[in-house]
Structure 1
Amino acid sequence: MANRLEGSTSPYLLQHKDNPVDWWPWSPEAFAEARRRDVPVLISVGYAACHWCHVMAHESFEDDAIAARLNDGFVAVKVDREERPDVDAVYMTATQAMTGQGGWPMTVFATPDGEPFFCGTYFPKQHFGQLLDSVTTAWRDQRDDVIKQGAAVVQAVGGAQLAGGPTAPISATLLAASASGLAREQDALHGGFGGAPKFPPHMNLLFLLRHHERTGSAEALEIVRHTCEQMARGGIYDQLAGGFARYSVDATWTVPHFEKMLYDNALLLRVYTQLARVTGDALARRIADETAAFLLRDLGTPRGGLASALDADTEGVEGLTYAWTPAELVGVLGQDDGVWAADLFRVTTAGTFEHGRSVLVLARDIDEADPSLVERWHDVRQRLLAARDERPQPARDDKVVASWNGLAITALAEHGSAGSRTAAIRLAEVLADRHLVDGRLRRVSRDGVAGEPAGVLEDYGCVAEAFLAVYQLTADPRWLDHARQLLDVALARFGNGAGGFHDTADDAEKLVARPADPTDNATPSGASAICAALVTFAALTGETSYREAADAALATLGPLIEGHPRFAGYAAAVGEAALTGPYEIAVATSDPADLLVEAAFRHAPGGSVIVVGTPDQPGVPLLADRPLTDGAATAYVCRGFVCERPVTTPDDLLARLRS
């Protein structure tokens, strides 16, 4: 036998191609081989930027003795959770049911039919070796009990996905309860929610921003502002190159888990962009600009599309690229600037990280400081970044994931700079040309070639929303047509018959259970993402069937929004847009550079739809019967295709939106 990962398109699987373990990729052939040999299956799930995945690989999967025991008694299957979120979802549900927690690497022992009977996450080498022996013994001597346990787990997993649960239509009362729940759980001192480890709550912040815009809630806005400031000044934010790490290992945002994920940065770009528009805050604007630059500079791939992640480790050492000592600062900057930078970035001899090194944080406000101080700060950052670029750099997972690129396209379109808008259109072309195949989405591509995994619901929702964002930038009806195509597939193939959605299509590969996770976690759930696209599409076209589908799906998410708001942030944000209308803003003009156009994009509440073009422009329903006023550019603010009196000045448009 031999390791079968050599030809994989997944960077994560390729990391394991030289292991002595006889890995199989996820495939029917792997399970057929387990049946032929009458052995259980080890399903090992992780992703390329995962630190503890690397640790377990070094300790166990690169060890000849462990590999020999694995090869002798199991069929070993390696899964990239980012390529196969459907497989990950099924076995994560099983792992959480068995252990009360989950994470990656995920370690699952299953029957040759794929039924899990023992689940866990990271195991140190000694424990993993003992576990292999225990599972081998149980499979040989207690087969019936093992199979019964597997069947019971599968039944429990399947039961968790059944349709027909309680519903709650979106209402002002429900969204107020969700906002109040978040307020109770906030960390008033450090921002965010809960304790360590602390993840950037981007979707909750997006919801609270929209809640503030609709209700005027000062509390909701302050939670967002405070959390965004604390994250931006913390070590979770790269103070030199921009971009956010996946999470902070502490409650103060000081020491990150160093991988940088595309989806986090895309969602945070939306939050900081909208916060800057609502408040005019200089810090928020800078972070938005730097995050957009990070996405395009550090995650752009040669064949188009944005890469998935930068690794947590560099040459097997976590944080090697990013941490500093005072002496290193002086060595790069000289004595005066080095001491000044150590004070500004809180770099001490004791250190905040390992081996007396520190992660850079911003000790005090700099954005509105004296201009000479700001100039010095920019100079110091540039010199430190140039020196850091000479260090070994983290690896990059360069596969292009459809849904995550969709999130980035929407974020770049909303960011609104000329460069961001151009990039959003270019990235949308990549998805349309490469991932949209025969009317269906492929989830991943790499080096310009689409992979085999079919798109899941979050891909359809996030990419449809992205195409609609680009349609609003361009008024090109083909993007509306692409979005319609994706939404029609989602409604026909993913619906559960009770208003909600499964995460996989009805003609997708059959797993031991059909996943349907409604919770927003690291990324929007498929259900939340498809609701967002349905609400936007209905607002742009006036086609009520899509809005009815969105309202029905949001009602299935209502109890989650109200009762567990930390896990329903995107759903709640979509609910705010739906309850607001959303606003439909049509600017009739022959000049896309008109100040009225800029005002519309700058001041529209989150979730609004905006189109710009000539009156009655083909393919743009919102511009039908929208004449100019005395030859001047004219803005129409509507909801449900019912419009208020048109306006012709930015001030009047702003007053109309604020009213």
Structure 2
Amino acid sequence: MANRLASATSPYLLQHKDNPVDWWEWGPEAFAEARRRDAPILLSAGYAACHWCHVMAHESFEDATTAAYMNEHFVNVKVDREERPDVDAVYMQATVATTGSGGWPMTCVLDLDGRPFFAGTYFPDQPRHGQPSFTQLLQAIAEAWRERRDDVTSTAENIAAHLAANADLTGTAPIDATVLDAAAARLGREFDAQHGGFGGSPKFPPSMLLEFLLRRDGSADRAVAGKTLEAMARGGIYDQLGGGFARYSVDARWVVPHFEKMLYDNALLLSAYTSWYAVSDAGSDQERLARRIASETAGFLLDELSTPEGGFSSALDADSEGAEGTYYVWTPAQLVEVLGADDGAWAAELLTVTPGGTFEHGSSVLQLLGDPDDSDRWASVRERLLAARALRERPGEDDKVVAAWNGLAIAALARAAGVLGEPRLLDAAVRAGRLLVELHLVDGRLRRVSRHGEVGRHAGVLEDYGCVADGFVALAEATGDGVWLEHAGRLLDIGLDQFGDGSGGFHDTAADAEALITRPRDPSDNASPSGHSAITTALLRYAALTGSGRHRDAAEAALAAVRTLAEKAPRFAGWSLAAAQAALDGPLEIVVVTGPGDPVGERLAARARRSLGSVVLVVGPEQAAASSIPLLAGRGLVEGRAAAYVCRGMVCERPVTDPEVLLR
């Protein structure tokens, strides 16, 4: 018999609808039940593509004995951390504060006021490696609640006080060239020169840092970015057959991934590879690799994550056939079975598929460490392997549409469309933009998620407003249609009015949002941009297109507010550093005005698009001179010829009609 989660819209919650646990969704009803029973709340948070969430669910939440104990002694609440990032952020902060680390599944136990007095992550069903079993843990917590309530209350009060006194990483001085140079130098020292990336294992794609480094003119900075981008593109973290990146590598060499594929990772990496292509030397091996990975990653978004309504799904699971990675890995024998002896042996060598294996049970994750010596043969091998893989059990899909992550995808696709010359990418970005406008905007405010064309009830958070506004700005740039700029402006004004803290910083939830035990605010980037850095980026680009002093001032104040973070922890400030680099550069503004069928206009636009990064670019026809995009308005042809207008810091050069002059 299904529990209360059967009526949920979240795919993650629906995964637990048949558990014997009497789950509640987060909300006042659960707290009312806890007070009625005088029982603590057991909060379990995770997400649909989370491997260890599945493990803990199978071991504990599907076990009738464990569930019976949970139901007797606790009010059990399930939270999709992607649907309620505000709730997750508050209790993840408590988890990190009390244990020194975090992750999912997250397990917290709360008092009747929602204050945590215990926090942790995964707990096994049996004692293991000095860790108690989940049942032992529950028994100890229940006993403490009954017999030592004063200790529980004291612990809850101490943790709540800690959460209220967040570490101060704010600043008031601008992020100037000195800060940016120091951040780049520190990243250079922390760079893994052998394998690319930063730190050891596990190793995550540093997408936002790469954007910052690619925007700088220094060859050393771009070399750090290029080494990392090539290593990821050739490693097992990249799907060498189907395109798209896994969430992270469990090793330092990018060989074995954690196989789940997230929308936000692939949107951010599409942006990074597009930028790498844009700054690469024409005709170089680097340019060819960057273009291929950007195009294939965009194809992955369109082919694998598109929803019937026009948006993009959140993720593909790591697991299929009850185990992680089985959809993606191969043995030499499997290659021979599909390809025959000769092509099978050739493919095994090319893709590093060894008899001993690089993964589990003698299987290997595919790597493409060098370019194939026969591109036609590789195309045939890849096509046959993809066809064979399609017969395997496909990983599950979390098909909810998250506003913020769709904003990232829209921006990446809109900008890649022009740089790569692939109009279908812009068409997909426009469809997703329309879905957000028509479905996620309710009474002028953003909703966080939708699924199957039905919008959810949860309010958008700061990252939704920032990422979606930036996506709309990118659509305005790519299409020349001022309607998208109007949508972006309305979202940014709500961001300033509802989320601003009055001193340049931002809260992650709106002023009129549900009150939690503390109002979350975290300007640091993690796997995706923080709300703070996302809205800063959107404010800056919007101001460049409109000339709005209010929005430019807000962007500069927001950058000043994270100066200390940029100085002390630049690896967690990549998107803000990229925005600060753009602000320092102007940003550079380019308008290309073309006549009908004018080849020179196309060459001007192509040249301008190879200057991505700190550039705001609008391409439009002559009749767009009356556009509602102020940067485009009033710009016309020059003596009947296509022209490019280059401006920086509200000062414009004379229009040029020669692509080589534009380059200079």
TM-score in same-fold range (> 0.5):
yes
Matched-pair contact (CA < 8 Å) for 1:10–1:80:
yes
The match for 1:148 is 154
Which residue of 496, 514, 518 corresponds with 1:513? 518
Match of 1:436 in 2: 441
Find the aligned partners of 1:2 and 1:622 in 2 and give their Cα distance.
56
The RMSD of aligned alpha carbons is 1.3
Where do residues 56-455 of structure 1 align in structure 2 (5 Å cutoff)? 56-126=56-126, 127-160=133-166, 165-211=170-216, 216-279=217-280, 280=282, 281-366=287-372, 369=373, 373-416=374-417, 417-455=422-460
Question: Do the aligned residues in 2 keep the contact of 1:292 with 1:412 (CA within 8 Å)?
Answer: yes
Question: Using the alignment, how far apart are the partners of 1:99 and 1:264 within structure 2?
Answer: 27
Give the match for residue 581 of structure 1: 586
Distance 1:9 1:111 in 2: 27
Distance in 1, Cα, partners of 2:416 & 2:608: 9
Q: Matches of 1:463 and 1:310 in 2, distance apart?
A: 22
How far apart are residue 365 of structure 1 and its match? 2.6
**CA separation in 2, counterparts of 1:391 and 1:576?**
46
Q: Which deviations, in whole Å up to 9, do the C-alpha atoms of 1:322-358 show, x marking residues without a partner?
A: 1111000000000000000000011111001110111
TM-score (norm 1): 0.96
Distance 2:410 2:3 in 1: 37
- Equivalent residues of 1:399, 1:444 under 8 A apart: yes
SS in 1 for 2:646: strand
Residue correspondence of structure 1 range 460-471 to structure 2 within 5 A: 460-471=465-476
Q: Tell me which amino acid in the other structure corresponds to 1:325.
A: T
Task: For residue 558 of structure 1, report the CA deviation from its aligned partner.
Answer: 1.2
Distance (Å, rounded) in 2 between the aligned partners of 1:520 and 1:251: 21
Q: Identity, % of aligned pairs?
A: 61
Q: Which stretch of structure 1 is more off in the superposition, 632-641 or 135-144?
A: 632-641
* Counterpart position of 2:612: 605
Q: Secondary structure at the match of 1:123?
A: coil
Q: CA deviation at 1:112?
A: 1.7
Distance 1:2 1:512, change over 3 A: farther
Please, which moves more after superposition, 413-422 or 326-335?
A: 413-422
SS at match of 2:361: helix
Q: In structure 2, give the amino acid aligned to 1:462.
A: C
Partner deviation per Cα, 1:419-444 (whole Å, 9 max, x = no partner) = 11111111111111111111100010
Shift of 1:167: 3.0
Following the alignment from structure 2 to structure 1, what is the Cα–Cα distance between the partners of residues 354 and 593?
58
Alpha-carbon separation, structure 1, partners of 2:383 and 2:649: 49
Give 1:616 deviation, angstroms: 3.0
Residues 595 and 650 in structure 1, CA contact (< 8 A), matched pair in contact too:
no
Shift of 1:2: 6.8
Q: For 1:297 and 1:2, locate their aligned partners in 2 and report how far apart those are by CA, in whole Å.
A: 33
Residue in 2 aligned with 1:623?
Answer: 632
Residues 463-502 of structure 1: matches in 2 within 5 Å? Answer: 463-502=468-507
Match of 1:645 in 2: 654
Q: Give the Cα–Cα distance (whole angstroms) in 1 for the partners of residues 215 and 486 of structure 2.
A: 28
Question: What's the CA shift for 1:596?
Answer: 4.0
Q: 1:218 to 1:98 in 2, by over 3 A?
A: same
Measured in 2, the distance between the counterparts of 1:161 and 1:410 equals 32
8 Å contact from structure 2 (residues 212, 574) kept in 1: yes
Query: In 1, Cα distance between the equivalents of 2:452 and 2:236?
Result: 32
Give the structure 2 partner of residue 572 of structure 1: 577
Q: 2:7, 2:273 → 1: CA distance?
A: 40
Distance (Å, rounded) in 1 between the aligned partners of 2:423 and 2:602 = 15
Larger displacement relative to structure 2 (412-421 or 530-539)? 412-421
Normalising by structure 2, we get a TM-score of 0.95
SS in structure 2 of the partner of residue 595 of structure 1: helix
Pair 28,575 (structure 1): closer, same or farther in 2 beyond 3 Å: same
How far apart are residue 152 of structure 1 and its match?
1.2
CA distance in 1 between partners of 2:32 and 2:365 (Å): 49
Equivalent position amino acid for 1:324 in 2 = W
Distance change >3 Å, CA 597–CA 5, structure 1 → 2 = farther
Q: Write the distance in 2 (CA, Å) between the matches of 1:616 and 1:302.
A: 36
Count of aligned positions: 645
The alpha-carbon distance between structure 1 residues 505 and 600, as it changes in their structure 2 partners (threshold 3 A), is farther
Distance in structure 1 (CA, Å) of the matches to 2:337 and 2:244: 25
Q: Distance in 1 between matches of 2:23 and 2:579?
A: 42
Are the counterparts in 2 of residues 42 and 77 from structure 1 also a CA contact under 8 Å?
A: yes
**Is 1:599–1:654's contact at 8 Å kept on the other side of the alignment?**
no
Q: Is the 8 A contact 1:596 1:633 kept in 2?
A: no
Distance 1:488 1:185 in 2: 38
Instruction: Classify the secondary structure of the residue corresponding to 1:363.
Output: coil
Query: Aligned partners of 1:585, 1:209: CA distance in 2, in Å?
Result: 19
> Structure 1 unaligned runs (5+)?
none
Q: Distance in 1 between matches of 2:148 and 2:57?
A: 29
Larger CA deviation: 490-499 vs 623-632: 623-632
**Counterpart Cα distance in 1 of 2:607 and 2:591:** 9
Q: Does 1:544 align with 2:553?
A: no
Q: By how many angstroms is 1:303 displaced?
A: 1.9
Give, in whole Å, the separation in 1 of the partners of 2:363 and 2:55: 21
| Structure 2 match to 1:27 | 27
Moved more, 644-653 or 526-535: 644-653
CA distance in 2, matches of 1:426, 1:504: 27
CA distance in 2, matches of 1:64, 1:330: 45
Partner secondary structure for residue 272 of structure 1: helix
Specify the code of the residue in structure 2 equivalent to 1:153: I
Q: Secondary structure at the match of 2:584?
A: helix
Relative to structure 1, the CA distance from residue 261 to residue 592 in structure 2 (aligned partners, 3 Å threshold; closer, same or farther) is: farther
Distance 2:607 2:626 in 1: 18
Contact 1:34 1:41 survives alignment (8 Å): yes
Instruction: Give the Cα separation in 2 of the matches to 1:4 and 1:532.
Output: 40
SS at match of 1:626: coil
Instruction: Give 3-state SS (helix, strand or coil) of 2:243's partner.
Output: coil
Distance 1:169 1:217, change over 3 A: same
Following the alignment from structure 2 to structure 1, what is the Cα–Cα distance between the partners of residues 31 and 68? 19
Equivalent-residue separation in structure 1 for 2:485 and 2:158 (angstroms) = 45
Asked if 1:456 corresponds to 2:461, the answer is yes
* 8 A Cα contact 1:443 1:456, kept in partner: yes
CA displacement at 1:600 relative to structure 2? 4.7
Equivalent pair of 1:404/1:462 in contact (CA under 8 Å) = yes
CA distance in 2, matches of 1:652, 1:388: 50
In structure 1, what residue type is equivalent to 2:630? P
Q: Which moved more, 1:250-259 or 1:592-601?
A: 592-601
Question: How many Å separate the matches in 1 of 2:115 and 2:230?
Answer: 46
Letter in 1 for 2:512: D
**C-alpha displacement at 1:418, in angstroms?**
0.7
